[in-house]
Amino acid sequence: MRRLESREDLERLREEALSRQPERFISLGMGTASRAHGAEVVYFALKEEVAKRGLDIPIKATGDHGLCGYAPVMVVYPEGVLYHSVKAQDVPEVVDAVGKGEIVERLLYTDPMTGKTYTYEQDIPFYKKQMRLVLGPMESVEPLSIEDYLCCGGFSALAKALFDMKPEEIIQEVITSGLRGRGGAGFRTGWKWEDAAMRPDPVKYIICNGDEGDPGAYMDRCLLEGLPYEVLEGMIIGAYAVGAHEGFVYVRKEYPLATRNVQEAINTLRELGLLGENILGSGFDFDIQVVRGGGAFVCGESSALIASVEGRVGEPRSKHVHATESGLWGKPTVLNNVETLANVPFIVNKGGEWFASIGTEESKGTKVFSLAGDIYNTGLVEVPMGITLREVVYD
């Protein structure tokens, strides 16, 4: 893969990728939840069956589609026909139906409340009532396919930030957006970035906190597994905005697939020149390392996390000083949650005012929730801020 030396090189690669993108393909959720339900077996059965029949239908192994309790879930594009709870023995029938343009009705989703069966994903109430922003590309992007991510507009926000905006303009857009931290106390992201950017120290760091430890929570895991480039793009933009040249993705120890995908995505970005020295010929240098979590719940707390990255025991300390003043190795440090960073490319591309038009007066944008427990539709949902918990759980 050739190194990208300019913005024009990036756009040429995007055009090449778009020219190769298939209109017709099968998307199969292959995140941790799906693999636990046998998605890998289904994936290899699909590949074998399609090859045996000589069909030109690519199989995309993507992140989890959201309906994790019904995994393995597959969607046939461009129609958007959704099948759930697919087994290896169902594959010949599914492939036969895809080839003939028919439907396997017994594998369609049936609403457990109404008994109504839905053919198309976009009509299923579970999806219809969501606003999938950061999760939007999940079903059409293979996690490690840079071409897939480029076809969804990937790294256009980074190019815009590097060549069309000054660091302070990026921070102002994030302030205007009203984006709050998605993993902690909801502190305004723009204010945190502004504070770090004002520090005169030439050495600064940015850390992506992927150490979610709440029982039943898997929002960050799914983003790191399924859309690592989206998170990394937001992280690079944040680094440019605050003047950091080194970053760390701190991933929970119990997330091996997320760790692998993020590391491989970083390797690809280095090879392309989207990480490292002189990114896209902009003069900006930045690189990222992956750090495995300390294996303790408390390591998700900011001061404990920083201690863990430094190689010390992950124990919280009194926060008399903010990390933006003295964080990692005593240097100004921005610490953002996975989902927070995943929102940044959308804010840069569409503007802070656009983002601020979603949600409530005090909380802007969308929020990803993981639904678990004694409910019909367990999985991931992304909804506008301000929606009631009753709607999330019952509707």
Contact status, residue 270 vs residue 298, Cβ threshold 8 Å? no
Task: Measure the CA–CA gap between 377 and 360, rounded to whole angstroms.
Answer: 26
Structural domain range at position 232 = 154-356
Can you give the pLDDT at residue 154?
97
Contact status, residue 99 vs residue 49, Cβ threshold 8 Å? no
β-strand partners of 276? 286
Can you give the pLDDT at residue 145?
98
Can you give the pLDDT at residue 274?
98
Contact status, residue 174 vs residue 157, Cβ threshold 8 Å? no
| Predicted TM-score of the model (pTM) | 0.95
Q: Tell me, what amino acid is at 134?
A: V
Can you give the pLDDT at residue 296?
63
Residues 172 and 312 in one domain: yes
Task: Measure the CA–CA gap between 148 and 59, rounded to whole angstroms.
Answer: 13
pLDDT, one tens digit per residue, over 112-157 is: 889 999 999 999 999 988 999 999 999 999 999 999 999 999 999 9
Can you give the pLDDT at residue 299?
60
Going by their DSSP bridges, the two strands 81-83 and 25-29 should be labelled as unpaired
Residue from 138, 191, 172 nearest 29 by CA: 138
Can you give the pLDDT at residue 375?
85
Residues 166 and 241 in one domain: yes
In a domain, 363, yes or no: no
Can you give the pLDDT at residue 295?
67
In a domain, 5, yes or no: no
In a domain, 307, yes or no: yes
Going by their DSSP bridges, the two strands 333-337 and 205-210 should be labelled as parallel
Contact status, residue 21 vs residue 59, Cβ threshold 8 Å? no
Based on the structure, what is the number of domains in the chain? Answer: 2
Question: What tokens does 300 get?
Answer: 């998700």
Residues 164 and 262 in one domain: yes
Q: Which stretches of the chain are DSSP H helices?
A: 7-20, 32-36, 39-52, 91-100, 125-128, 146-151, 156-164, 167-177, 189-198, 219-226, 228-242, 256-272, 302-309, 338-350, 352-356, 389-394
Task: Measure the CA–CA gap between 197 and 242, rounded to whole angstroms.
Answer: 4
Phi, psi of 368, rounded to the nearest 5 degrees: -90, 130
| CATH of residue 112 | 3.40.30.10
Residues 115 and 158 in one domain: no
Residues 102 and 164 in one domain: no
In a domain, 146, yes or no: no
Residues 230 and 329 in one domain: yes
In a domain, 66, yes or no: yes
Question: What tokens does 253 get?
Answer: 């120890």
Phi, psi of 345, rounded to the nearest 5 degrees: -60, -35
Question: What tokens does 349 get?
Answer: 């591309």
What stretches in the chain show pLDDT beneath 50? none
Residues 111 and 162 in one domain: no
Question: What tokens does 275 get?
Answer: 């990480």
Residues 162 and 108 in one domain: no
In a domain, 390, yes or no: no
Number of Cβ within 10 Å of residue 6's Cβ equals 14
Residues 164 and 31 in one domain: no
In a domain, 387, yes or no: no
Q: Is 86 left (phi over 0), alpha (psi -120 to 50) or beta?
A: beta
Can you give the pLDDT at residue 123?
96
In a domain, 12, yes or no: no
Residues 97 and 189 in one domain: no
Contact status, residue 306 vs residue 333, Cβ threshold 8 Å? yes
Residues 108 and 161 in one domain: no
Q: Can you say whether the dihedral through the CA atoms of 372, 135, 62, 49 is positive or negative?
A: positive
User: Mean pLDDT of all residues in the chain?
Assistant: 93
Residues 164 and 114 in one domain: no
Going by their DSSP bridges, the two strands 74-77 and 81-83 should be labelled as antiparallel
Contact status, residue 290 vs residue 266, Cβ threshold 8 Å? yes
Contact status, residue 35 vs residue 256, Cβ threshold 8 Å? no
Q: Which residue has the tokens 């969308």?
A: 366
Can you give the pLDDT at residue 316?
75
Residue from 350, 382, 338 nearest 235 by CA: 338
| CATH of residue 180 | 3.40.50.11540
